Each structure stands twice: as C-alpha cells, then as structure tokens.
Chains A and B, each alone.
Chain A
Amino acid sequence: MTEFRKTKLLTLAFGALGFLSSCGGIQNSINPAGPNADSLSRLWWLMFYVCTAVYVLVMIALVIAIRNGGRKSDLNPVLNPSPETETRKRNAVLSAVTATVVILFVFLIYSYSTGRALTADLAQKNGLSIELTGHQWWWEVRYNDVDASNIFTTANEIHIPVGVPVTFTLRGGDVIHSFWVPNLAGKKDLIPGKVATTWLQADKPGVYRGQCAEYCGLQHARMALWIVAEPQDQFNAWRQNQTQGSVPPATDSQRYGQQVFLSAPCVMCHTINGTRAGSNFGPNLTHVGSRNTIAAATLSNTREHLMQWIVNSQQFKPGNRMPQNNLGQTELDALVDYLQSLK
C-alpha cells in the first residue's frame, strides 16, 4: 500500500467516525427529544436517503458511461449521429428531468406541510409560557403565569417539565438573535421591535444545549443556553424555589459579601430579589448559585470561574458588557461566598 493510499483510507475512516459521532449528543437536530424536532429530523432523513440514492445512481451511470464510451470506434458522434443513439439520449435526459422535478415536489410538499404542522395549533398549546429576550450576549428568561406571584426572571438556564408543550415569546433586546435548541425545535429569530412565538416539548428528561443561531456580534459563539427537561414534580420544586426571594446570608463572610455586592459596581446592573439590587441591565442573580454555568453557558459555575469572571470577564468573553472590577482579595472571597449561597 502506498503512503498516499494509506492517508486516504485513514481520512475516510476518520470521516466515517465523525459521522457516527454526530448520531448522539445534546446539541444535535437528528437526535430528537420531542415531537417538534422529531418531525424536522424525519424531513431531514427523507432528504438524506433520497439524495444518497440519487448520488449513487448518478455515480453508477457515470461509471457505465466511462466504461462504454471508451470502446466506441466512432469518435465524432456529433457529425454522424445515428437515430438510435439520439432516441436513447433524449429518453435519458427526459427521465432524469422528470425524476428531478418529482423529487423536488415531494421535498417541497413535505417540508411545507411539516412547517404548517409545527405552527398550526400554537394557540392551543397552554402548558407553560416563557418569555425569552436576547441580549448581547446572554438570554433573559421570564416565566409567565396567571398568578403574578409565580412570575420570575432568570438567565441562560431554562427548566421545563417533560411531556408538556412550552410556548416561547421571543423578543430581541438589542440586535437580532436566534433561538435554537436542535434536539427540541427548529430556529426562530428574536427581532427587536417584533414579538415572535414558537413552542417546543421534551419527551425525554435530559439536558439540551441551545445556541444563538444568528450572528449578533463579537461573542455570538459564546451565547448559549441550557434546557433542563425534568419530571413534573422536580420541575415544580425548582419553580417553587425560583419564585422565592434570595436566600438571606447566613455566615459573616456571606453577610460581608452582600455588603460588597451592594456597594460595588455589581449593584448597578444586576438584580437580587430581596435586596436593594434591582437593575436589569445584566442577568438576574437571585438564584445564581443554583445554575450550572455562568456567562451564557460559557463557564462552569465554580468558585474560581466566578472570581476570575468578576475581576476580568474580558479574558473569557472579550467585548462583553461587564466591566473589570478590581476588588481586594477579602472582598472578592466574601462576594463569591455570597453569590454561591444564592441557591
């Protein structure tokens, strides 16, 4: 085996591996976890199989043409056309064009009816209503409810009950963003000055990753979110906790941390319910300790990450809207103690 062939084979093998690896995963539209994504992935697979069949047929036809064409003694078929080959050619072209038109129509009708079916009974979905606002570069999540005391705001982590349709009201806060959780639903844009609606439903409990799908500036790539689908009773417990005000600081360090928060620049942008901090320029931090990630799913929510983020968030997400905060080590320790206690 020559070196070149080896390389080629290796490349092919790794390509196949890469293809296999895309079959699972938490951010994958052909690994559907709900009815919405399911119908989309069916459409995708239909297109995939039909296109594969077309590709294979074309390749077979090409190989036949190359093998037969070489044996022809007549090298000038244009000047000496035989009526027999002319008819065969015409038939071949006609059948290929017919097949193409039919296939495209099947695709067109199927994708149109899928799109219609997804939005048809949007008004009847009365499970859970969430208002999602896109900001540069994070997601503001507001859970609506008929009972005003059940309304609360969080960020970047959306919990939903399994098997319940969830409607999303989408708004653009500054520029156009797009809400996309591949395992659960297709994309929908968040446009400033316009209200869009979409819905999704998770049939399997699990954690699914969403991503902004419309270029929205420097940190577009680091604007992600989590959807946590959990059984109804777990969801109820989570929601019960989120509707409460923040946990009062319990230790001396946490108490000092709260003071630091309220006197440092933090208080100018963030809200912690139950304290004087009430600005909504940045994410709501009332239950920041209960979230798995910070900075729109950019960093895991650990003590080190919180500290580094507060002091100089620009090293992780250059251009983001959080200024540098040069706090002393004692203040920083206390502040992070307090933030982590906000479960």
Chain B
Amino acid sequence: MRRTIILVIYLYLCISVAGCKREQRQFTAPPATFKPYIVTMSEIQPGSAGPPAPMQNPSEQRAYDTNQGKQLFQQYNCSGCHFNGGGGIGPALMDAQWIYGSNPENIYDTIVEGRPNGMPSFRAKIPDDQVWKLVSYVRSLSGQLPKDVAPTRNDDMNARRSEQRTKREAPKQTSPGEIH
C-alpha cells in the first residue's frame, strides 16, 4: 500500500516536471535588446559550412509567452492589417500559405526587417523578447504549436475558435501573386 502511494506521488512529480516549461514566465521584462538575428537567404554556401541549425524560439514552449504574444498582436496593431489573423490589407496568417517561410526565424525576420509591398520593418521598435512572443503567437494562428501552449480563449467575443482548437495547416510555400 505504502509503496503504491510513493509510486503515485513519484509519478505525479515526474508529470509536473514535464509541464515546467509551459508555465515558465518572466514577470519583469528583460532590458530591451534589438539584436539583429541573421537569417541566410540561401541554403547554398561556399566551402564546407552547412546551413545553420533551425532557430529555437524559447517562447514557443511557453503558454504564457504565447498568450502575451496574442495581446501584443493587438497592442502593436498587427490586427490593423492582418485582421485577427484572417487577413485583409495584409495576408492571412491562419491559413497554410506562407510567402516568406513558416519557421520561427523567418517570421522573426519578417517582423524585424519587413517585407516588400507593405510589411513595415519593426527594427528597433519592438524589443527582441516581444518579437519572439509575437512569432510564437503568429505560428499558433495556423495551429503550428502544441495544444498545451496555444492560447485557449479570447478576451473579447470573437468569431473564430481559439488558437488551441485550430486545426493544424500544413505550411505551403506560396509566391505573393498566388494570394488572393
């Protein structure tokens, strides 16, 4: 009997530990840094150096950060063009179409450097940590994040279902002309 109890407690602790990253949060923002993250535009490189390893976005494993990203998405008026992810002036973010890549580092670059035909460069305006939170949220819009990290509900009434309940769209590379 005692053994079973100890075993149950042990298992419970193991499960709790597994959930640590999800709940990790920073209450005071780190000092604002604006590091230019360099993305290579081509995978071909002279010499023997391989392509850089895919970027790890620390916010992508934290539910708190992703929810912060959702707030930042409204606060920085991303919604002004992307309309809660549905697209309007700017392209939709909740579908499978990606013009400039669906990886975290691509989205980071899109926000910081801007893109042709309208996407402004937010370089030196949005601090690094907030950009990564936005990146995480943008990916959750089309269901790219695990369900335990994606935002579960909206602060206001909203026509679409929450990001957590969004079906994952398999990213497809699209050229700007194909977006209607």
**Which residues of A are at the interface with B, using a C-beta cutoff of 8 A?**
175, 217-218, 263-265, 267-269, 281, 319, 321-328
Contact = CB atoms under 8 A, between A and B. Distances in A.
Given A322-B75, A323-B75, A265 B125 contact: yes
Given A281-B80, A319-B155, A321-B74, 14 more contacts: A175-B156, A263-B124, A265-B125, A265-B126, A267-B125, A268-B76, A268-B77, A268-B125, A269-B77, A322-B75, A323-B130, A326-B32, A327-B32, A328-B31
B93 interface: no
5 contacts: A175-B156, A217-B156, A268-B76, A268-B77, A323-B72
A322 B130 CA distance: 13
A69 to B, nearest CB: 55
Interface in B110-154: 124-127, 130
Interface string B30-74: 111000000000000000000000000000000000000001101
A257 B113 CA distance: 26
By DSSP majority rule, is chain A's interface helix, strand, loop, or mixed?
loop
A321 B127 contact: no
B29 interface: yes
A192 to B, nearest CB: 13
By DSSP majority rule, is chain B's interface helix, strand, loop, or mixed?
loop
A281 B77 contact: yes
Contacts, number: 36
A281 B81 CA distance: 13
Given A263-B124, A269-B77, A326 B155 contact: no
A263 B124 CA distance: 8
Contacts of B29: 324, 326
Given A269-B77, A322-B75, A323-B130, A218 B155 contact: yes
A269 B72 CA distance: 13
Contacts of A325: 32
Given A217-B155, A217-B156, A218-B155, A323 B124 contact: no
Contacts of A327: 32
Nearest to B27: A312
A163 B27 CA distance: 51
A322 B75 CA distance: 6
Contacts of B72: 323
Nearest to B126: A265
Contacts of A319: 71, 155
Contacts of B30: 326
Contacts of B32: 325-327
A175 to B, nearest CB: 8
A266 to B, nearest CB: 10
Contacts of A328: 31
A268 B127 CA distance: 13
A322 B77 CA distance: 10
A326 B76 CA distance: 15
Nearest to A174: B156
A68 to B, nearest CB: 58
Contacts of A281: 77, 80
A29 to B, nearest CB: 30
B157 to A, nearest CB: 9
A269 B78 CA distance: 12
Nearest to B129: A326
Contacts of A175: 156
A59 B29 CA distance: 63
Contacts of A218: 155
A267 B120 CA distance: 14
A324 B75 CA distance: 10
A268 B124 CA distance: 12
Contacts of B126: 265
Nearest to B122: A268
Contact of B75 (A217, A321, A326): A321
Nearest to B33: A326
- Name which of B29, B72, B124 has the most chain A CB atoms within 10 A of its CB: B29
B126 to A, nearest CB: 7
Interface in B8-38: 29-32
Given A263-B124, A265-B126, A268-B125, A323 B155 contact: no
Nearest to B130: A323
A205 B85 CA distance: 48
Contacts of A324: 29, 130
A324 B72 CA distance: 9
